Structure 1
Amino acid sequence: MKAHDDRDLVVRLDRAVGKIQKQLGVALSIHGVGLSEYLVLRQLHDATDNRLRRIDLAERVGLTASGVTRLLNPMEKIGLVAKASSARDARVSLVSLTESGRRVFEESDGTFAEVAAQVLSRIDPADRRGLENVLRALD
C-alpha cells in the first residue's frame, strides 16, 4: 500500500471513530455522563474491589495522568468516584467507584450496549471478526 493510501486509511479510521464517539456521547448524556466518564466508570466497575491506581486507570482509558485527574475531579464532586491514598504507599493515588457511580454505570451500560449493537449491525459478521483482528493488531 502506498504511503498516501495509508494516510487516507488512517484518516477514514479516525473519522469513523469520531462518529462512533459522537453517537455514544449523545446517547450517554441522558445519564449525565459523557463517553470518557463512562469509560472510567466501566474500568472501575470491572476492577478488583472496584478500585484502581490513578495511573493504571489513565492507561486503561487512554489518557495521560493529568488528563485523568482533570476528568476525575468533577466526577468526584458529584459522587461518582472517590479518591484516596494507598495505605502502603502515600505516593500512590487510588480511585474507587462509589455506590452512586455503580448505579450510573449500570444504567448507562445498557445504553452503551444498544448504541454499540446499532453501530456494529451495519457490519457483516465475517467483517466484524476481521475488524476484531485488526484492532487486536493495533492494540
Structure 2
Amino acid sequence: MGARKRRLRLDDQLCFALYAATNAVVRAYRPLLGELGLTYPQYLVMLALWQDGAAPAHTLAARLQLGASAITPLVDRLEAAGLVTRARGTDRRVVLVALTEAGRRLEEKVAVAQQAVVCRTGLEEDSLAALRQELKALADRIAGSGSVPQDETV
C-alpha cells in the first residue's frame, strides 16, 4: 500500500492564519488612521520616522522591508499632507526624509489609535510582546533559510 497523499487544507495553513490576522489588524486600523489622514502604509513610514528620526528614503524602504520604488509614492503623499519634508544631501542621489512639526504632533493622536487597536486584540501586554517576538523570529528564520522544506505546511 503506497503512501497516502496528504490533502491541502486552507485551515491548516500558517500562511492563511497570518494573512487573516494581518487583514483583521489592518481593517481595525483603517478607520482610525483615516480620521487622521493616514493610510496604513503611510502610518508605517511615520512610525519609522518617529522612532528612528530623519532617514534617507532608501533606508526607510529597507526598514519597512519595501522596495525603493514603493517608498516614493508614500513619501510623496506624506509630503503633500505637510507631515514630512524631503531634502537632498551632499550626495545628490540621497534623499533625506524628515518629519515636519505637524508630523511630530501627529504622533500623539496616532498613539491613541494604536492603543485602541491593541485593546481590540484582547491580549495582555506580555502576551502581545511574546507574539510580536515570535513573529519577528519566524520572519527571520524564513528569510534566513532561503526556502521552505517540502514536507512542511506553511
TM range (shorter): 0.7 to 0.9
Unmatched 5+ stretches in structure 2 = 1-5, 141-154
Query: Once structures 1 and 2 are overlaid, which stretch shifts more, 6-15 or 102-111?
Result: 6-15
Q: 2:72 aligned with 1:69, yes or no?
A: yes
SS of equivalent residue, structure 1 residue 33? coil
Contact 1:86 1:94 survives alignment (8 Å): yes
Q: In the aligned structure 2, how far is the partner of 1:112 from the partner of 1:134?
A: 20
Show the 5 A alignment for 1:75-94: 75-87=78-90, 89-94=91-96
- CA–CA distance in structure 2, aligned partners of residues 100 and 124 of structure 1: 32
- Select 1:45's aligned residue among 31, 50, 61: 50
Q: Structure 2 CA distance, aligned partners of 1:107 and 1:128?
A: 21
1:29-53 CA-partner distances (Å, limit 9, x unpaired): 1111121111111111112xx3001
Q: Give the TM-score taking structure 2 as reference length.
A: 0.75
Choose 1 or 2 for highest CA Rg.
2
Residue 93 of structure 1: CA displacement? 1.1
Task: Name the stretch that deviates more: 31-40 or 127-136.
Answer: 127-136
Amino acid corresponding to residue 90 of structure 1 in structure 2: R
Moved over 6 A (4+): none
User: For structure 1, which runs of at least 5 residues remain unmatched after alignment?
Assistant: none
- 1:28 is the counterpart of 2:28: no
Q: For 2:109, give the aligned amino acid.
A: E
Name the Cα RMSD after superposition: 2.4
Aligned to 1:18: 23
Structure-2 change in CA distance of 1:94 and 1:3 (3 Å): farther
Report the number of matched residues. 133
Q: 2:110 aligns with which of 80, 105, 108?
A: 108
